[in-house]
Structure 1
Amino acid sequence: MSDHSEDKLFTQERQQAILTYVETHKKATVAELCQLFKVSTGTIRNDLREMEKLKLVTRTHGGVLIRSKTGLEMMATEKEVRNHDAKVVVARRALEQIEDGDTLLLDTGSTTLELAKLLSERKGLSVITNDLQIAIILEDMPGVVNLFIIGGAVRQKLHCVIPFNRDSGLSELIIDKAFMGANGFTLKNGATTPDVRQANLKKEMIACASNVILLIDSHKVGHDTFAKFAEVSDISILITDTISEEDRAGIEARGVMVISE
């Protein structure tokens, strides 16, 4: 990775941490952010300018206020309940893309969790996941002959794991199909998630997969969250419950197959 890329990554991580701090305290001054992150006033002001452009915060004289929920992430139990019927529809369509003997990667998420529940309908599967609930469901499933869980730190109340460092070991693997979740998806910014660490892991997942299949319910189309993890062109198939003809045409024009009602 180049020095420029490293600097950009560190900037994203700091901005994610700033957002978390402001969400917790509702506001912050430039001075306290400088002290907290051990950087200059100019660096913090640049961060806040970029974050305001993303509509994450509102800058004030000498400080910042929380503005939107773009950087917030619902707990796993909230995700499972929200738009549950749509997630089941998407999961059933996703199952149609799986053949006996496939090697799969299941990203964490409420829709991929619904897909995991259906895998008993296939045989001879090998599955890699970073989702604890998915791993528990698949542990004794007859059709799953190999099950691997990515190691690291548990994100409490989100039931998933983030590697301790930037090498998850995924680069050594060859995956037939990666089923990815997202918190937002737009033609401009692709697939996004609120957490930078999660985005970095998702990028590694995508890099080792022959086919990337994005599973999102229609409420996430047209919305961005904090950290991008995939361009539209990185995705092989997008599966959703419903989608407008305009959005479908735009996505398909980028070479992505769209499966929906």
Structure 2
Amino acid sequence: MAASFQVISKLLGRLSPSISHPLRQYLSCLQRLPVGSRPGLSPFVPPSRSLCKAALPRDEDAAQATEARLCYKDSPWDYLESEDYIEKYGTNPVWESYRRNHKGGIPPQKTRKTCIRGDKICGNPCPVCRDPNIIIHHQNVKLLQQFISPHTGMVLDPTRTGVCMKQQKKLHEAINTAKNHGFLPFQIPFVEFSGADYSNSHDAVGSTPPPQSLTSGETWYKWYSEITPDENEVAKVKKTYKAYLK
């Protein structure tokens, strides 16, 4: 025990005075105590098993997240009714609390092309790319309705929702497919027709007028006689159609 105190005192000599002075006082007090009542040196030994115990919950969370992704992969519309979704987003759309990171006070007019390139993910992914359980599908009607304006029926601009261009293209395709399959309603614009549209007396749909009585040498159109054609162009046309001219 005395040898261990000597080794520790030599090591303390190499430290700075601000650190070594309190430790020397502590060791001197330990030497004055009886041998049986001296505490061990466990306070100076870092715990070796604390890191292993702290890593266990992370592994369990990762396993649960992987199971959740596999669960919602075949039916992504179930995620919007789950407790995890309600706890994270509530009744708001997935893009409402999203804020884009950009330089300056004016946001750019276009979002990024994609948030995920291979294994690399950008620092602030879009509302669709940041949550792996949000999957764009034409049967995921509740998710698609969050990106459609209730007033105009048009798809919201990505500058408002913050969705990257790759996911915006998937949204357009999924919405069009959902409309074709009858999952999403859409309204055809109403056009009022007047009585003139069904009239048969218009020149475009009426009967052809009888031909005019023309004398020899008189043209059908009066303005045609006032045009003087170019002789070179006439010669080229005659040469091209020489075999067909009589």
TM over 0.5: no
Q: TM-score range by the shorter chain?
A: under 0.3
